[in-house]
Amino acid sequence: MICIPIVDNNIDDALKNAEKALKEADIVEFRVDMLDDVNESAIEEMVKYPCIITVRADWEGGFWKKSNDERINLIKKAIECNAKFVDIELKEEKNKELVKFRDEIGSKTKIIISYHDFEKTPSCEELIKIVEEELKIGDIAKFAVMAKSKEDVLKVLNVINKYNGKIIGIAMGEEGKLTRILGVHFGSILTFASMEGKASAPGQIDVKKLKEIWKLIL
């Protein structure tokens, strides 16, 4: 499965580009934290598309600088509206509360619990510990770490392989590009690809180029 991040700063462009992206990808990720102005009615429009709703906090490398309560309310709205996925940080203190909320209202939303390290790739043991912790909370574990070597790439692919179908694993940066190409082959449920040069993280490959590579090697 290919996911294209939607990184526009206004809702009209975001929805327009989501439609365009879904001609190439299976799903889009709305980076709600990148929007200049967002409210619950905007979330209602977004969830009409197959999507991940992400309101990434600034303390996790995102752009959300308003109150955390407002951020949580937007995530709750996405859950109420049965968004396909919502992404909630492992470090978010209310992540278990949000899962409980989902269960109590009978929402069909799948919850991704995510971890990011923009400096390095932790050891396999550390990554496994992170993934185990995430899977105790949500439906899908996600980690995105910074690769500095081929060894880092191997660590990521090994961990993805261990949790086939329950994980999204990515190594960011130029060294990590192989994980974006091979990750789904090893068990990652999706990979993120860019569209028209708009990327949400370093190392994302253009969606058309990614498909060409897959045709050749997979």
Catalytic residues: 116, 142
Tokens of 171: 């190594």
Residue 56 assigned ligand-binding role: yes
Distances (CA, A) of 177 to 78, 79, 181, 195: 31, 32, 7, 16
Query: Residue 204, annotated ligand binder?
Result: yes
Residue 144 near residue 159, CB atoms below 8 Å: no
The DSSP result for 19-40, as a single string, is: HHHTTT-SEEEEEGGG-SS--H
Residues in the chain: 218
Which helix (H) or strand (E) element contains residue 193?
strand 191-194
> Would you say 186 is a known binding-site residue?
no
With contact defined as beta carbons under 8 Å apart, do 50 and 82 qualify? Answer: no
Residue 200 marked as a ligand binder: yes
Residue 119 — φ and ψ, nearest 5°? -105, -35
Place of tokens 């959300």: 64
Alpha carbon distance 52, 54 (integer Å): 6
The answer to whether 31 is a known ligand-binding residue is yes
Q: Which helix (H) or strand (E) holds 167?
A: strand 167-172
Cα separation of 155 and 121, whole Å?
8
Tell me the binding residues for 3-dehydroquinate.
29-31, 56, 180, 200, 204
